[in-house]
């Protein structure tokens, strides 16, 4: 007997590509340039399958006009985001944080009689970055940590990535840059090749959903001493980069630092920050 099979999805036409790409841009700020059509097509195939659709235009109409498409929007964001990350990514930036930026920030706070330290991992993906920040803060503060009120906000648009951040379990590959002593101190092997982040470190990190295209919500993020927003701006166009980076400036306390990706730059995006050079790393300071 011949089994009934659903027809394979039709190719994405240029017209539907533009409609979908504009929709994604309007809702998330993530921009697919003309040469990224096949990438978008591949990423959306599973969404079509999930809805038993074989035409991209039907999926577009579902997103645009179905009143129940809110949940699908979140699934769309999971599909179109790139969540690549790792612990201690770009070690020279982490070293600059540990040896220069944190000691300077803490000394300034002590002088002012403040004990509140707030960091933000903006675009935290699966949690590797905010847990790295929490480990570094713990290493710098050492036994004085109980006298500080430390919070590391970890936000992302991908709920799937945020669920992983909440589970806080990682494989050897994503821990490959973690020094052995740090690994032994802050991770527990599960015996199945995964390592769980220690409760002390987890307690410092608050993962939560935030879409950077939502300017009103981003505006509410105030009072940060240090922001890591690495490898996120590359997915936006210059308009959104300018608007979002100017908001990050407002989200920082005076004297606060912004770290962006190693290969990213604020050239033509913002002149508000002072560029600070560290060995092998750059940071942007709100002077
Ligand atoms: C390549 S990862 C970078 C993760 C981490 N910052 C690092 O450098 O290792 C980029 C992250 O940005 C998130 N992202 C992309 N667009 C976003 C948006 N509009 N709002 C919030 N997060 C977004 C993605 O979901 C993804 O997890």
Average pLDDT along the chain: 96
pLDDT at 69: 85
pLDDT given for residue 6 in this prediction: 64
CA of 123 relative to ligand 1 center, distance in Å: 4
Question: To 10 degrees, what angle do helices 70-80 and 56-65 make?
Answer: 130
| Pocket residue to mutate for ligand 1, from 232, 237, 263, most atoms within 8 A of Cβ | 232
**Ligand 1 site residues, Cβ closer than 6 angstroms:** 28-30, 81-85, 89, 123, 125, 129, 156-158, 161, 210-213, 230-232, 235
Topology, domain 91-285: Rossmann fold (3.40.50)
- Residue boundaries of the structural domains of the chain: 14-80, 91-285
d(C-alpha 276, C-alpha 258), whole Å: 10
Q: What pLDDT does 9 receive?
A: 81
* Whether this model's pTM surpasses 0.85: yes
Nearest CA residue ID for atom 2, ligand 1: 83
Structure tokens given for 231:
């490898």
Fold classified for 14-80: Chemotaxis Receptor Methyltransferase Cher; domain 1 (1.10.155)
Give me the pLDDT at residue 10, please. 87
Pick out the chain residues at pLDDT < 50: 1-4
What pLDDT was estimated at residue 1? 47
Counting Cα atoms < 13 Å in the Cβ hemisphere of 22 gives: 7
**CA triplet 113, 116, 121: central angle to 5 degrees?**
145
């Amino acid at each position: 007997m011949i089994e009934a099979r659903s027809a394979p999805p039709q190719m994405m036409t240029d017209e539907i590509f533009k409609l979908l790409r504009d929709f994604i841009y309007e809702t998330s700020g993530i921009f697919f340039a003309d040469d990224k059509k096949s990438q978008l097509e591949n990423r959306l195939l599973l969404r079509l399958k999930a809805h038993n659709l074989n035409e991209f235009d039907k999926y577009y109409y579902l997103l645009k006009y179905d009143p129940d498409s809110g949940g699908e929007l979140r699934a769309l964001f999971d599909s179109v985001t790139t969540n690549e990350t790792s612990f201690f990514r770009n070690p020279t930036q982490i070293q600059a944080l540990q040896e220069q930026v944190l000691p300077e920030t803490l000394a300034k706070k002590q002088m002012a009689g403040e004990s509140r330290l707030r960091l933000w991992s903006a675009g935290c993906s699966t949690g590797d970055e905010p847990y790295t920040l929490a480990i570094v803060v713990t290493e710098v503060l050492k036994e004085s940590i109980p006298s500080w009120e430390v919070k590391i906000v970890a936000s992302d648009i991908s709920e799937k990535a945020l669920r992983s951040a909440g589970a806080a379990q990682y494989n050897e590959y994503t821990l490959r840059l973690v020094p052995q002593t740090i690994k032994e101190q802050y991770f527990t092997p599960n015996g199945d090749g995964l390592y769980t982040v220690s409760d002390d470190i987890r307690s410092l990190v608050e993962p939560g959903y935030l879409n950077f295209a939502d300017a009103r919500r981003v505006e509410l993020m105030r009072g940060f001493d240090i922001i890591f927003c690495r490898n996120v701006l590359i997915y936006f166009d210059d308009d959104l980069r300018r608007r979002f980076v100017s908001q990050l400036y407002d989200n920082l306390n005076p004297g606060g630092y912004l770290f962006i990706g190693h290969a990213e730059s604020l050239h033509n995006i913002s002149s508000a920050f002072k560029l600070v050079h560290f060995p092998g790393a750059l940071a942007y300071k709100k002077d």
